[in-house]
């Protein structure tokens, strides 16, 4: 099968997007006080670390970063013929009273974000939840929108967006597969 | 009814006959054997070209469950299964309800079989009253009423003194004792052979020595009392060795094994298959080999089925709760023919084990095709391929590990007292 | 991505190393749920789980019940004293009746080895074995794996001693099947009356000539429960002599590695299988086993809840 692959964001493009998102987070939250990042496994978790490092470079303060695995909160477990592997959720801090920024690589139907928010709620009660994504490809099925978007990429349902990472879990590029 | 069976391979070990020839059966007896017989004009003729014609097969160990347990089998269904399997005579064990320990029950069986059965039925009476192992049954009257042997089959005579007296008393009455030899304390709560498979499945094992030790006891008692003894369902290497040595010493001991003991091992239990649950239990490869060797060298005299019908409700349950035993009448012949195909036995030896020897042991005027003998004949197609389909089972019960299996060889005609009792379609 | 392709969990003998690794990995993920304030995830919402216990068991039944509830399944317990078993209903009929109530999973404990192999021929829902006769106790085997892995970070190459009545122990069987698949070296010890024939054929298993040989330099010592009611009277003189030759005490525990862990499936007969000094000592991991039990059972329920869809 021939798949047509286009690079829609290269490494420097990703870096610029993350830098911009970092600044927007700082602006909106008036600094990093009370801000925590929660990456959705697996791509979002990698990006959350990259974003945290960027925020630390700007502000000089370490930002708490956690990871959320949404497998147990999915609404489509029944439809998966085989069992999905369950990843580990790791939130090594309290969410109570925090400004939680949920980080994912690609925003699509919104169902993953719904599951992630449910998972977060079972861990504590943040003051607010914001959403940062590298790519918003549209086709929302739930009333969810991102607060911070690296790049809006209108897609068809047949297309696929893939963020690739290197061995150190650093983003390399974003690909559009037709 | 008269019958002319032509051009079959007539095998009669009792007369050392093995040749292609013709047989004329008239008024229920063998009238003549040989080529160029004078044949009446109007006679039913069976072309036996390519088939074996043997004395009617005798299964000296079956459970017909009649009276009292007719939900499992009865004399009609059991004898129907017998003739479908090529048997013209069966000997039924006394563990019915009530027990065959008196003349009335023995007569009931004989009469019902005579009036409604498809083959000859010879009841075996109990050694002890009610099979309780306490008092000897009325062996004299049992013999007089038609019982051909006594046995407490299903359980051993636990008390060795009583077993000694049974052998002595039976000898005096001229009736054969058939021993179910098993040391119950060693069996305990075991449900299958004790070995690697029982370890693997976590099932309680029955050690082989539970059989060996009991057979040794019974053989020694037979030797001491100088009485004939027949041992039922031999399944272990140890038992075979004990019997072989006893025969060498001149002990009047004979024995039988069942097709499952030379066909299957305890591996068949895997999956907790209750149709592989029987007593004695299926043993191991070395036992299977020993059983075959003992059939070959004559240590084991007979092949008997231990046909043990059980209702599906007694088999389709948890392994521990399931009843022991399998049906065997319809599968015995093809499974035994496999011994011929694999050159363990000659056809003549097979006919000995399935007809002449049981006849000799029980003192029947059967098991041979001599002129003037009763017209019990089995015509076998050794190459007949068929499937043991659950819907084709004649027995009321379907508890067999071979259901759905391909079989090779079967009786195509079973002739009882000169009449065709079964004909394969 | 690893997938679990079994509809039922009857025994660890049926599982590959990868299956075991997946179950352990899922259990590790489940543990996080048990350590937070809201100990519940919605994963099995709307699923009905029947805990059918033909043998008394407080611990395993409670553990399965909590596991089901933490995954948001509806769990119903049926025990012989309140069930129709006392009325003589067959397992087959009980199963059919339960099935008419549309459960998604039946978790069963039964005194007869192979009862689950029979049950799956009667029902179309998933079946999880909570212990059958002397056959298998897969959840115990898995929680033992997890507890050992927690301590050593691996299972490969460890020396594991299993001491006691191996013949009548479903725990021993599940442990042997699982540990040998994971590369551990298993040494069995116990009186020969409690050692099943050819047990060494089960895998990388050695029968030690004495308890001392089994626990010498062991990383793990698993003590089996002595159940005289199940064993009959002929296997040993009495518990006093048993504990003298096959009981674990602070002295013989010194033969094992200094950081060796001591485990027991419970409930412990104190002073028989092990002395209280050992049972309550630093090396005892008995409570960790119980804790891991919930996570392991959550993993089992999770993986069979989707497995049925594959067929």
Same domain for C166 and C120: no
Give yes or no: residues C71 and C128 share one domain. yes
- Does B262 lie in the same domain as B331? yes
For B151, other C-beta atoms within 10 Å of its C-beta total 26
Nearest chain C CA: its distance from B186 CA (Å): 11
With a cut of 80, say whether residue A169 has pLDDT above it. Answer: yes
Same domain for B48 and B174, yes or no, is no
| Alpha carbons B87 and B90: distance in angstroms, whole number | 7
Residue C13 to residues A62, C157, C169, C242, C307, Cα–Cα distance (Å): 49, 20, 15, 30, 18
Confidence of residue C229 (pLDDT cuts 50, 70, 90): low
Whether the per-residue pLDDT at C307 is higher than 50: the answer is no
Which H helix or E strand runs over C179? helix C170-181
What burial class does residue A19 get, using C-beta atoms within 10 Å of its C-beta: 0-12 exposed, 13-18 middle, 19+ buried?
Answer: middle
Please give the residue of chain C at the shortest CA–CA distance from A91: C32
pLDDT along chain B (425 residues), means of 10: 94 96 95 90 93 98 97 98 98 97 96 97 98 97 97 97 98 97 96 97 97 98 98 98 98 98 98 97 98 98 98 95 97 98 98 98 95 96 97 97 97 97 92
**Residue B93 domain flag:** yes
> How many H-runs (helices) and E-runs (strands) does chain A carry?
3, 8
Do B272 and B391 lie in one domain? The reply is no
Q: How far is C178 from chain B (nearest CA, A)?
A: 14
Q: Is residue C202 part of a domain?
A: yes
Question: What's the confidence (pLDDT) of residue C232?
Answer: 67
Place of tokens 């005027």: B365
The domain of B405 spans: 3-52+373-423
Q: Are the C-beta atoms of B325 and B93 separated by less than 8 Å? A: no
Question: Running DSSP on this structure, what letter comes out for residue C257?
Answer: -
Could you confirm whether C59 is annotated as catalytic? yes
Q: Which chains does chain C touch, 3 or more C-beta pairs < 8 A? A: A, B
Residue scoring higher pLDDT (B333 or C238): B333
Which of these three, B339, B362, B385, is where a domain ends?
Answer: B362
Q: Is C275 in the A-facing interface, judged by CB distances under 8 Å?
A: no
Is the same domain home to B240 and B184? yes
DSSP character for C308?
Answer: G
CA pair distance B286, B290, nearest whole angstrom:
6
Measure in Å the smallest separation between the Cα of B278 and chain C Cα atoms: 17
How far apart are alpha carbons C223 and C246 in whole angstroms?
Answer: 9
pLDDT band at C3 (very low <50, low <70, confident <90, very high): confident
Query: What's chain B's Rg over C-alpha atoms?
Result: 20
* Cα R_g (chain C), whole angstroms: 19
DSSP, res B355:
I
Q: Percent helix, strand, coil in chain B (nearest 5)? A: 35, 25, 40
Q: Please check the confidence at residue C260 and state whether its pLDDT lies above 90.
A: yes
DSSP H stretches of helix in C38-169:
58-70, 91-100, 115-119, 138-152
Catalytic choice (C26, C60, C94, C147): C60
Q: How many residues does chain C have?
A: 311
Q: Taking residues C58-74, report their average pLDDT.
A: 95
Residue A83 is predicted with a pLDDT of 67
Bigger pLDDT: C85 vs B119:
B119
pLDDT band at A51 (very low <50, low <70, confident <90, very high): very high
Q: How far lies C189's CA from each of A31, C24, C174, C216, in Å? A: 65, 27, 16, 12
Domain range summary for chain A, segments of one domain joined by + = 5-72+90-177
**Chain mean position to CA A86:** 18
Look at chain C and report how many structural domains it folds into. 2
Quickly tell me which residue has 């015995």 as its tokens. B332
Distance separating alpha carbons of residues A42 and A33, to the nearest angstrom: 26
Provide the pLDDT for residue C310. 34
Name the DSSP letter for residue C194. G
Task: Calculate the alpha carbon distances from C293 to B304, C212, C286 in Å.
Answer: 53, 29, 11
In sequence order, what are the residues at sequence separation of 6 or more whose Cβ sits closer than 8 angstroms to the Cβ of residue B417? Answer: B28, B120, B374, B375, B376
Selected catalytic residue, list C36, C87, C102, C244: C87
Among candidate residues B74, B266, B306, B376, the one labeled active-site is B306
CA end-to-end distance (rounded Å), chain A: 11
Residue among B354, B235, B331, B338 nearest B284 (CA): B235
Nearest to C42 among A89, A118, A124 (CB): A118
Chain A residues inside the 8 Å CB shell of C71: 72
**pLDDT (tens digit per residue) in A113-133:** 999 999 999 999 999 999 999
Mean per-residue pLDDT, A33-51: 95
User: Which residues on B lie below 8 Å from C232 (Cβ)?
Assistant: 188-189
Please give the average per-residue pLDDT across C234-248, as a whole number: 92
Of residues C8, C31, C47, C109, which has the active-site annotation?
Answer: C109
Average pLDDT over residues C188-209: 94
Asked if B128 contacts B135 with a C-beta cutoff of 8 angstroms, the reply is yes
Q: What's the pTM?
A: 0.90
Interchain CB contact of C246 with A (< 8 Å): no
Q: Residues of B near C (CB-CB distance < 8 A)?
A: 188-189, 194-196, 198-205, 271-272, 313, 316-321
Lowest mean pLDDT among A155-169, C84-98, C268-282: C84-98
Q: Are residues B41 and B109 located together in one domain of the fold? A: no
Q: How much is the pLDDT for C308?
A: 38
Whether residue A87 and residue C29 make contact (CB cut-off 8 A), yes or no, is: yes
Query: Could you tell me if B48 and B102 lie in one domain?
Result: no
State the first-to-last Cα distance of chain B, in angstroms, to the nearest integer: 21
C18 Cβ neighbours under 8 A, 6+ residues apart: C2
Are B45 and B101 found together in one domain?
Answer: no
CATH number at residue B20: 2.30.40.10
In the numeric block, the tokens 């038992």 are attached to B239
The strand ranges marked E within B313-405 are 377-387
| Residue B249 dihedral angles phi and psi, to the nearest 5° | -80, -10
Q: Do C117 and C20 fall into the same domain?
A: yes
In a domain, C4, yes or no: no
Total count of domains within chain B: 2
C237, part of any domain:
yes
Lowest mean pLDDT among A79-83, B301-305, C89-93, C94-98: A79-83
Tell me whether residues C42 and A82 touch, CB distance under 8 A: no
C285 and C202 within one domain: yes
Contact check, Cβ <8 Å, B313/C90: yes
Gap from B270 CA to chain C (nearest CA, Å): 10
CA distances from C254 to B271, B278, C84, C151, C274 (A): 42, 49, 50, 18, 14
For residue C96, give the CATH number of its domain: 3.40.50.1370
The span from the CA of C207 to the CA of C195, in Å, is 8
Give the pairing type, strands B377-387 and B406-416.
Answer: antiparallel
Averaged over A68-85, what is the pLDDT?
76
Is residue C28 assigned to a domain?
Answer: yes
Q: Is B306 a catalytic residue?
A: yes
**Catalytic member of C61, C116, C135, C137:** C137
Q: Is B12 in contact with B54 (CB distance < 8 Å)?
A: yes
- Residue A120, C-beta contacts closer than 8 angstroms, at least 6 positions apart: A38, A68, A91, A95, A100, A102, A126, A129
CATH 3.40.50.2020 correct for A5-72+90-177: yes
Are residues B192 and B82 located together in one domain of the fold?
yes
**Nearest chain C residue to B206, by CA:** C197
Q: What are the chain C neighbours of B205 within 8 Å (beta carbons)? A: 196-197
B127-142 burial, b at 16+ Cβ within 10 Å, e below that, comes to: bbeebebeebbbbeeb
**C49 shares a domain with C115:** yes
- Residues of chain C contacting A111 with CB distance shorter than 8 Å: none
Kindly provide the ipTM of the predicted complex, given to two decimals: 0.90
Contact at CB, C113 and B196, closer than 8 angstroms: no
Q: Please give the mean pLDDT across all residues of chain A.
A: 92
Residue found under tokens 């029979």: C118
CATH of the domain at B342: 3.20.20.140
Long-range Cβ contact pairs of A93-96 (< 8 A, separation 24 or more): A93/A36, A93/A64, A93/A66, A94/A124, A95/A36, A95/A120, A95/A123, A95/A124, A95/A125, A95/A126, A96/A124, A96/A125, A96/A126
Beta-ladder partners of B415: B377, B420
Whether residues A72 and C307 touch (CB distance < 8 A) is answered with no
pLDDT higher than 50, residue C311: no
Question: Residue C112 region, left (φ>0) first, then alpha (ψ -120 to 50), else beta?
Answer: beta
| C212 in any annotated domain | yes
- Domain with C78, as residue range(s), is 12-137+292-310
* Per-residue burial over B330-349, b = 16 or more CB atoms within 10 Å of its CB, e = otherwise: bbbbbbbbbbbeeebbebbb
Measured in residues, chain A has a length of 178
pLDDT score of A84 more than 80 = no
Q: Which of C4, C42, C299 sits opposite A73 (nearest CB)?
A: C42
Looking at the structure, tell me whether residues B338 and B393 fall in a common domain.
Answer: no
DSSP label of B73: -
Question: Residue B368 domain-assigned?
Answer: no
* Cβ atoms B130, B97 nearer than 8 A: no
**Residue carrying structure tokens 């389709």:** B316
Whether B201 and C113 lie within 8 Å, measured CB to CB: yes
The separation between CA B128 and the C-alpha centre of its own chain, rounded to angstroms, equals 22
CA distance B252 to A162: 87
Nearest Cα to C68, choosing from C88, C94, C48? C48
Residue C127 and residue C184 share a domain: no
Question: Average pLDDT, whole number, for chain C?
Answer: 92
C244: annotated active-site residue: no
A-C CB pairs within 8 A amount to: 66
Say if residue B236 is in the same domain as residue B381.
Answer: no
Q: What is the DSSP letter of B354?
A: I
Over residues C239-265, the mean pLDDT reads 95
Instruction: Please enumerate in sequence order all residues whose Cβ is within 8 A of that of B197, keeping only pairs 6 or more positions apart, or say none.
Output: B266, B267, B269, B270
pLDDT value at position C15? 96
Q: Is B204 part of any domain?
A: yes
Q: Name the pLDDT band for C230 (thresholds 50, 70, 90).
A: low
Tell me the C-alpha distance between A26 and B222, whole Å. Answer: 103
Chains B & C: contacts with CB separation below 8 Å: 65
Residue B367 inside a domain? The answer is: no
Cβ pair B17, B10 in contact under 8 A: yes
Shared domain check, C280 and C144 = yes
User: Is position B246 within any domain?
Assistant: yes
Instruction: Name the minimum distance, in Å, from the CA of B131 to any CA of chain C.
Output: 27
| Residues B116 and B237 placed together within one structural domain of the fold | yes
| pLDDT score for A54 | 95
If asked whether residues B345 and B265 sit together in one domain, one would say yes
CB contact under 8 A, A78 and C30: no
* Backbone φ, ψ for residue A90 (5° rounding): -135, 100
Map residue C69 onto helix, strand or coil. Answer: helix
Classify residue C283: in a domain, yes or no: yes
């Amino acid at each position: 099968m021939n798949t047509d692959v286009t690079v829609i964001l290269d490494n420097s493009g990703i870096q610029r997007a993350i830098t911009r998102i970092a600044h927007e987070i700082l602006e909106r939250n008036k600094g990093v006080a009370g801000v925590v990042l929660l990456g959705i496994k697996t791509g979002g978790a990698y990006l959350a670390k990259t974003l945290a490092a960027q925020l630390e470079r700007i502000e000089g303060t370490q930002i708490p970063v956690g990871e959320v695995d949404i497998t147990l909160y999915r609404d489509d477990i029944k439809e998966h013929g085989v069992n999905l592997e369950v990843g580990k959720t790791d939130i090594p801090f309290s969410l109570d009273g925090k400004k939680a920024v949920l980080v994912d690589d690609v925003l699509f139907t919104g169902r993953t974000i719904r599951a992630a928010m449910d998972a977060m709620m079972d861990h504590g009660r943040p003051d607010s939840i914001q959403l940062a994504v590298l790519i918003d490809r549209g086709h929302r099925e739930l009333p969810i929108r991102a607060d911070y978007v690296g790049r809006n990429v209108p897609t068809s349902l047949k297309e696929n967006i893939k963020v690739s990472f290197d061995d150190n879990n650093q983003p390399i590029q974003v690909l559009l597969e037709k | 009814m008269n019958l002319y069976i032509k051009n079959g391979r007539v095998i009669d070990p009792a007369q050392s006959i093995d040749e292609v020839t013709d047989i004329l059966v008239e008024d229920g007896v063998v009238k003549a054997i040989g080529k160029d017989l004078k044949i009446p004009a109007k006679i039913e003729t069976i072309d036996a070209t390519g088939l074996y014609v043997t004395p009617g097969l005798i299964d000296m160990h079956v459970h017909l469950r009649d009276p009292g347990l007719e939900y499992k089998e009865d004399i009609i269904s059991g004898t129907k299964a017998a003739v479908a399997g090529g048997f013209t005579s069966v000997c039924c064990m006394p563990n019915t309800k009530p027990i065959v320990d008196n003349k009335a029950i023995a007569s009931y069986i004989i009469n019902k079989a005579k009036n409604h059965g498809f083959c000859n039925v010879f009841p075996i009476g109990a050694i002890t009253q009610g099979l309780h192992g306490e008092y000897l049954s009325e062996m004299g009257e049992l013999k007089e009423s038609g019982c051909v042997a006594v046995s407490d089959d299903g359980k051993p005579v636990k008390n060795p003194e009583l077993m000694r007296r049974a052998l002595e008393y039976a000898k005096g009455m001229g009736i054969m004792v058939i021993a179910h030899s098993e040391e119950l304390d060693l069996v305990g709560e075991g449900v299958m052979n004790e070995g690697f498979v029982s370890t693997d499945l976590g099932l309680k094992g029955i050690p082989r020595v539970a059989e060996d030790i009991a057979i040794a006891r019974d053989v020694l008692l037979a030797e001491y009392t100088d009485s004939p003894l027949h041992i039922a369902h031999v399944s272990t290497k140890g038992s075979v060795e004990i019997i072989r040595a006893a025969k060498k010493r001149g002990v009047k001991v004979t024995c039988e094994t069942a097709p499952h003991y030379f066909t299957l091992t305890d591996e068949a239990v895997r999956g907790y298959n209750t149709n592989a649950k029987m007593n004695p239990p299926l043993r191991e490869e070395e036992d299977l080999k020993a059983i075959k060797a003992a059939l070959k060298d004559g240590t084991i005299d007979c092949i008997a089925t231990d046909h043990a019908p059980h209702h599906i409700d007694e088999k389709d349950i948890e392994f521990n709760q399931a009843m022991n035993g399998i049906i065997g009448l319809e599968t015995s012949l093809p499974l035994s023919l496999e011994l011929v195909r694999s050159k363990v036995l000659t056809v003549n030896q097979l006919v000995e084990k399935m007809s002449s020897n049981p006849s000799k042991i029980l003192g029947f005027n059967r098991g041979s095709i001599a002129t003037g003998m009763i017209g019990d004949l089995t015509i076998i197609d050794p190459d007949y391929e068929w499937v043991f389909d659950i819907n084709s089972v004649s027995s009321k019960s379907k508890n067999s590990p071979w259901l759905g299996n391909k079989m090779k060889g079967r009786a195509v005609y079973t002739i009882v007292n000169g009449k065709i009792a079964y004909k394969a379609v | 991505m690893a997938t679990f392709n079994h509809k039922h969990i009857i025994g660890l003998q049926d599982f590959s190393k990868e299956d075991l690794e997946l179950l352990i990995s899922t259990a590790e993920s489940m543990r996080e749920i048990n350590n937070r304030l809201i100990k519940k995830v919605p994963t099995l919402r709307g699923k009905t789980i029947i805990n059918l216990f033909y043998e008394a068991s407080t611990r395993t039944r409670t553990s399965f019940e909590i596991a089901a509830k933490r995954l948001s399944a509806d769990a119903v317990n049926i025990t012989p004293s309140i069930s129709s078993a006392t009325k003589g209903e067959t397992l087959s009929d009980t199963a059919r009746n339960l099935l008419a109530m549309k459960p998604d999973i039946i978790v069963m404990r039964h005194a007869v080895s192979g009862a689950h192999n029979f049950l799956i021929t009667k029902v179309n829902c998933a079946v999880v074995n909570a212990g059958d006769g002397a056959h298998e106790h897969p959840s115990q085997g898995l929680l033992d794996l997890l507890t050992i892995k927690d301590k050593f970070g691996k299972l490969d190459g460890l020396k594991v001693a299993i001491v006691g009545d191996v013949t009548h122990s479903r725990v021993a069987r599940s442990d042997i099947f699982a540990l040998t698949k994971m590369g551990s070296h298993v040494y069995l010890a116990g009186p020969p009356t409690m050692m099943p024939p050819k047990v060494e054929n089960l895998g990388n298993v050695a029968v030690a000539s004495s308890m001392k040989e089994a626990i010498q330099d062991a990383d793990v010592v698993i003590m089996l429960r002595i159940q005289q009611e199940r064993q009959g009277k002929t296997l040993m003189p009495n518990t006093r002599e048993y504990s003298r030759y096959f009981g674990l005490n602070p002295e013989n525990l010194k033969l094992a590695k200094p950081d060796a862990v001591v485990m027991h499936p419970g409930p412990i007969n104190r002073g028989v299988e092990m002395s209280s000094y050992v049972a309550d000592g630093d090396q005892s991991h008995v409570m960790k086993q119980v804790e891991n039990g919930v996570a392991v059972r959550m993993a089992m329920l999770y993986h069979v809840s989707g497995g049925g869809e594959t067929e």
